[in-house]
């Protein structure tokens, strides 16, 4: 993965703190995943509205993404298991 490439990730679940658990669609290693902590993640809902979050943790083959909207109790339309997010370099 080059520095300029966006990384696609699929939502695989949520934790008890309303954090989003995502798994990259490409086969990158745990070491490469750890380098994504602090990067911006974007989910575009079915209305075309982008929702921004950030990668806060790397757990083996899963990244943890936090969205301010979810933390403040807002609902992000369409965000669920199988949703696609983009992680920006």
What are the phi and psi torsion angles at 46 (to 5°)? -70, -10
Q: Contact, 56 vs 9, CB < 8 A?
A: no
User: Is the backbone of residue 56 left (phi > 0), alpha (psi -120 to 50) or beta?
Assistant: alpha
pLDDT, tens digit, 9 for 90 and up, residues 3-53: 568 999 999 999 998 899 999 998 888 889 999 999 999 999 999 999 999
- The pTM score is 0.90
Domains observed in the chain: 7-87 (2.40.10.190)
Please enumerate in sequence order all residues whose Cβ is within 8 A of that of 65, keeping only pairs 6 or more positions apart, or say none.
9, 19, 20, 21, 22, 41, 53, 54, 55, 56, 85
């Amino acid at each position: 993965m080059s520095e300029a490439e966006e990384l696609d990730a699929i939502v695989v679940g949520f934790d008890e703190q309303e954090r989003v658990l995502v798994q990259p669609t490409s086969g990158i290693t745990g070491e490469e995943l750890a380098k994504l902590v602090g990067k911006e993640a974007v989910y575009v809902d079915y209305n075309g509205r982008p929702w921004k979050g950030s990668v806060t943790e790397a757990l083996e083959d899963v990244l943890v993404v936090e969205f301010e909207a979810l933390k403040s109790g807002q609902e992000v339309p369409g965000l669920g298991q199988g949703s696609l997010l983009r992680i920006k370099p």
